[in-house]
Amino acid sequence: MHGPAVAAPEPPALVVGSKRFTESYVLGEIVTQTLVAAGRPALHRQGLGNTGILEQALASGAVDVYPEYTGTIVRELLKRDGNPSLAELNRWLAPRGLVAAVPFGFNNTYALAMSEARAKSLGIARISDLASAQARELKLGLSHEFLQRADGWPALRQAYALAATPVGLDHGLAYDAVAAGRVDVIDVYSTDAKLGRLGLRVLEDDRAFFPKYDAVLLMRAGVDPRPLQPLAGAIDAATMIALNGEVELDGRSFAETAAKFLAARGIAGAASGAVGTTGSARPASADRQGLLARLFAPDLGRLAVEHLLLVFGSLLVAVVVGVPVGIAAWRWPKAAGLLLGVVAILQTVPSLALLAFLIALVGSIGIVPALIALFLYALLPIVRNTHAGLQGGSREMAQAALSLGLTPPQALRHVQLPLAAPTILAGVKTAAVINVGTATMAAFIGAGGFGERIVAGLAVNDSTVMLAGALPAAALAIVVQVGFDAAERWATGGRDSGRD
């Protein structure tokens, strides 16, 4: 007899990543909804920082596929030159276990742009014109990633012999800055929706510096690209500009824009808010009722829980580790400089660099590397205040405790630590308040929290969405501050500790 048929287990959801600019969000949604429509479970991790973050996420298996550009793959990931064919590019990627597939059908190259009126008054039409004497006083505002990329500012400056010193400016804010005259030249993508709307002049790349940036999907070698083949050649430059415009200029959500595009392509099952999408999708235009409506949107509770988990989960571990380290620094003065120096150095590591390293170390994105990063950033005030509190304690009280027969560990536990408690608690309070703000960076690796709204708002330069994330974070910082102040008063029996 044959037993009952056993249903095949559902394959694990493919994780689709996207970077933190409008086009990547939209393409990530299109990919996710296409997979869902084809019956393949998929999860969209939105706004995952920069290329380095996604490179580590792919290598660790935390992300399976994300939209990328051939020029970025060649210059930034492979550290090569040229414009290889897709077949040649995949030969270069094979040792890394990666595949570039499903070319969308458009080239989104980097470019430099400035206002038409300013360019006309100075006679600037080409990038090489920026090297002229009259152009040297221009203010360049370039995105932080462009300032560091192998195919960005360092090589561009050398190729064109440019002498300007640019300032870092988030891509989502650059258009308003150049329109207001705060900067003169910005880096842009050739499919940006605001280029025509703001009347900007794209400077000619007269020395052919920038490679082709054909939009493709970069995926791990084991991912089956067949469910995504309907997207091959489906998006030309004009279509991509229109899709970006629907989000940035018309206020549609990323999911709604993707669903509308797929419905027009006849891909059944695609719907706004596709199953598996994560992150704070930008609200549809019909739902944009001002700051209060966005502030108290349905995702507020989820984001608050995630933010609290990040802040207090990392803080708890920092207290458990930091207080003993501070005690060790006090107990063995010769080691104090080394211990305090190490935790101080951890504070200086750039957050995105630390997050990229931790993704590679733990092999995942999301809450685990975010908690580790926040724990490391919280150590300094706890260790330093524990050391300072014990160092400033009354020697007479410690000697009295020893003369009464207490052992040094007993004296530490029953006399010295209670005396140092207000200072230690002040360090914990400082770490908690700092972590409330720093936790917003966790959104860059898909860990959630109020940073999701801030990142989404930056991507489309929507101040309402940014404020809807920044205001709850600020309110939480105030609540944490007040809570710890009350705990300090309770710990000192209502007496003024004399410390902040």
Task: Report the range of poorest mean pLDDT among 168-182, 190-204, 309-323, 485-499.
Answer: 485-499
308-331 confidence digits (pLDDT tens): 999 999 999 999 999 999 999 998
pLDDT at 31 over 50: yes
Give me the long-range contacts of 223-227 (CB less than 8 A, separation at least 24). 223/14, 223/64, 223/65, 223/99, 225/99, 225/101, 225/102, 227/34, 227/35, 227/38, 227/39, 227/40
Question: Which one, of 466, 442, 458, 482, lies nearest residue 306 by Cα?
Answer: 442
pLDDT mean over 283-289: 43
Provide CATH 3.40.190.10 ranges for the chain: 14-107+213-288
Distance CA 484, CA 110 (A): 48
> What are phi and psi for residue 107, nearest 5 degrees?
-110, 120
Question: Which of 168-177, 198-207, 218-227, 460-469 is most confident?
Answer: 218-227
Task: Determine the pLDDT at residue 140.
Answer: 94
* pLDDT tier for residue 397 given thresholds of 50, 70 and 90: low
| 250 vs 311: CA distance, rounded Å | 35
Cβ neighbours, 10 Å, residue 475: 13
Higher pLDDT residue, 6 or 492?
492
Q: Under CATH, which architecture does the 110-202 domain have?
A: 3-Layer(aba) Sandwich (3.40)
Assign 3-class secondary structure to the chain.
CCCCCCCCCCCCCEEEECCCCHHHHHHHHHHHHHHHHCCCCEEEECCCCCHHHHHHHHHHCCCCEEEEEHHHHHHHHCCCCCCCCHHHHHHHHHHHCEEEECCCCCECCEEEEEEHHHHHHHCCCEHHHHHCHHHCCCCEEECHHHHHCCCCHHHHHHHHCCCCCCEECCHHHHHHHHHCCCCCEEEEECCCCHHHHCCEEECECCCCCCCCCEEEEEEECCCCCHHHHHHCCCCCHHHHHHHHHHHHCCCCCHHHHHHHHHHHCCCCCCCCCCCCECCCCCCCHHHCCCHHHHHCCCCHHHHHHHHHHHHHHHHHHHHHHHHHHHHHHHHCHHHHHHHHHHHHHHHHCCHHHHHHHHHHHHCCCCHHHHHHHHHHHHHHHHHHHHHHHHHCCCHHHHHHHHHCCCCHHHHHHHHHHHHHHHHHHHHHHHHHHHHHHHHHHHHHHCCCCCHHHHHHHHHHCCHHHHHHHHHHHHHHHHHHHHHHHHHHHHHCCCCCCCCC
Q: Write out pLDDT tens, residues 92-119.
A: 999 999 999 999 999 999 999 999 999 9
Q: Tell me the β-bridge partners of 14.
A: 42
Architecture of domain 300-491: Orthogonal Bundle (1.10)
pLDDT at 284 exceeding the cut of 60: no
The terminus-to-terminus CA distance of the chain in angstroms comes to 78
How would you classify the pairing of strands 42-45 and 140-142? unpaired
DSSP-assigned beta bridge partners for residue 15: 43
Contacts of 415 (CB under 8 A, 6+ apart): 397, 398, 401, 406
Q: How many CB atoms lie within 10 A of CB 408?
A: 12
pLDDT band, very low/low/confident/very high, at 400 (cuts 50, 70, 90): low
* Selected residue with higher pLDDT from 352 and 175: 175
Domain 14-107+213-288: give its CATH superfamily: Periplasmic binding protein-like II (3.40.190.10)
**Residue ranges of the chain that CATH labels 1.10.3720.10:** 300-491
> Torsion-angle region of residue 462: left (phi > 0), alpha (psi -120 to 50) or beta?
beta
Is the pLDDT confidence value at 231 over 50? yes
Report the half-sphere exposure of 420 (CA within 13 A, side-chain side).
29
In the numeric block, which tokens belong to residue 319?
Answer: 């207290």
Residues for the chain: how many in total?
A: 500
User: What pLDDT, in 10s, does the model give residues 414-424?
Assistant: 778 888 888 99
Every domain range in the chain assigned CATH 3.40.190.120: 110-202
Q: Which residues does 350 contact at the CB level (< 8 Å), separation at least 6?
A: none
pLDDT, one tens digit per residue, over 432-458 is 999 999 999 888 888 889 998 888 887
User: How far is Cα 103 from Cα 67, in angstroms, rounded to an integer?
Assistant: 10
